């Protein structure tokens, strides 16, 4: 009897050792991306689909939400928006978006857009208030570099590196910011399975009427490629497109607010949607967009143009890329 008990004890000890000594497998990480939530200049109202989108995101329980800009309706020139008006706009945004996510313990990482923190000289006050708002609501993240938060900065989540760019002006990214990005990727990039860069303006055009509202920066593209960036996320063009070009997934976000646009080569305007990305520990990822009204139905990417061709670049639809 004692011999049998000793055998059972030895067996149990072996099981415990096997469990405790087995390598821990990193789980997948889900993130959600929202973009361009604003209505007309100076508006403090958000349409009901913004509320539904945030509710759906909370149901999906992502580890993180990214905003690719235009959270409020600034950048009005005549007359310029006053501090009380801008404060009221941000109060409304927090009520509709930031607070519900905070209550659900989902961090919100932002990047500036032209309607909330334009870098053009006329909108200095809007940038100051943007900075004030997000310094006061800085999420608890694993920051790699937050010296320039909330404009451009870097943090990690799981095995993924995330980098925000301050991209609110048409034309090339400032030289000092590109130098910062290049160094950051060289020093930190290879420590992670995936690398994601997000900003407001896209590198290349996606939407009708926004053909020239781009960075168009080949030097920046080279930095992204040399830094082995996997995904570049943008807003501003108000149209969803999961594209691919020379080793990088370029994902343009649909808007949640006013002004959905038509993709170049498409017949219909893009549906308002949120983007969901699942990062897996083996380095792979899955991208889909969930569209209005309830954000439960995935956009069928086969209904999107196979390619977006412009004089600046050719972007291939994600599912048709052969060199991934």
pLDDT at 77: 93
The CATH T-level fold of domain 25-320 is: Purple Acid Phosphatase; chain A, domain 2 (3.60.21)
pLDDT at 27: 63
Token pair listed for 56: 């759906």
Cα→Cα distances 193→67, 158, 315, Å: 22, 9, 24
Percent of the chain predicted with pLDDT > 70: 91
Average pLDDT over residues 48-53: 96
Average pLDDT over residues 59-73: 97
Average pLDDT over residues 241-249: 96
Give per-residue pLDDT as tens, 278-308: 999 888 999 999 999 999 999 999 999 999 9
- pTM of full prediction above 0.85: yes
* pLDDT of 268 higher than 90: yes
Strand order in the sheet with 297-298: 108-110, 64-67, 29-34, 273-279, 285-291, 297-298
Percent of the chain predicted with pLDDT > 90: 88
* pLDDT of 143 higher than 90: yes
Give per-residue pLDDT as tens, 3-27: 444 544 544 433 333 333 333 345 6
pLDDT at 3: 46
Average pLDDT over residues 47-74: 97
Residue pair 195/154 in contact by the 8 Å Cβ criterion = no
Q: Cα–Cα distance between 308 and 324 in angstroms, integer?
A: 18
Give per-residue pLDDT as tens, 75-121: 999 999 999 999 999 999 999 999 999 999 999 999 999 999 999 99
């Amino acid at each position: 009897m004692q011999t049998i008990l000793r055998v059972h004890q030895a067996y149990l000890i072996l099981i415990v050792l096997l469990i405790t000594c087995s390598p821990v497998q990193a789980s997948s990480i889900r993130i959600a991306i929202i973009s361009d939530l604003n209505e007309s200049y100076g508006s403090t109202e958000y349409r009901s689909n913004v509320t539904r989108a945030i509710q759906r995101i909370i149901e999906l329980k992502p580890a993180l939400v990214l905003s690719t800009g235009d959270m409020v309706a600034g950048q009005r020139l005549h007359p310029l928006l006053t501090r009380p008006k801008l404060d009221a706009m941000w109060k409304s945004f927090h009520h509709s978006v930031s607070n519900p996510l905070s209550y659900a313990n989902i961090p919100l990482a932002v990047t500036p857009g032209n309607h909330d923190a334009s870098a053009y000289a006329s909108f200095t006050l809007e940038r100051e208030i943007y900075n004030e708002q997000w310094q006061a609501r800085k999420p608890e993240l694993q920051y790699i570099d937050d010296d320039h938060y909330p404009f451009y900065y870097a943090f990690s989540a799981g095995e993924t590196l995330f980098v925000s760019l301050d991209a609110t002006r048409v034309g090339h990214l400032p030289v000092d910011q590109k130098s910062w990005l290049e160094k950051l990727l060289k020093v930190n990039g290879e420590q992670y399975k995936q690398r994601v860069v997000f900003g407001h303006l896209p590198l290349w055009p996606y939407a009708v009427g926004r053909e020239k509202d781009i960075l168009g920066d080949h030097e920046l593209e080279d930095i992204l490629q040399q830094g082995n960036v996997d995904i570049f996320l943008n807003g501003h063009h108000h149209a969803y497109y999961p594209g691919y070009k020379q080793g990088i997934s370029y994902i343009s976000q649909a808007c949640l607010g006013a002004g959905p646009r038509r993709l170049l080569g498409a017949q219909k305007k893009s549906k308002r949607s949120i983007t969901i990305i699942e990062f897996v520990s083996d380095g792979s990822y899955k991208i889909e967009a969930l569209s209005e009204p309830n954000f439960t139905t995935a956009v069928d990417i086969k209904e999107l143009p196979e390619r977006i061709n412009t004089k600046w670049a050719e972007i291939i639809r994600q599912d048709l890329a052969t060199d991934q």
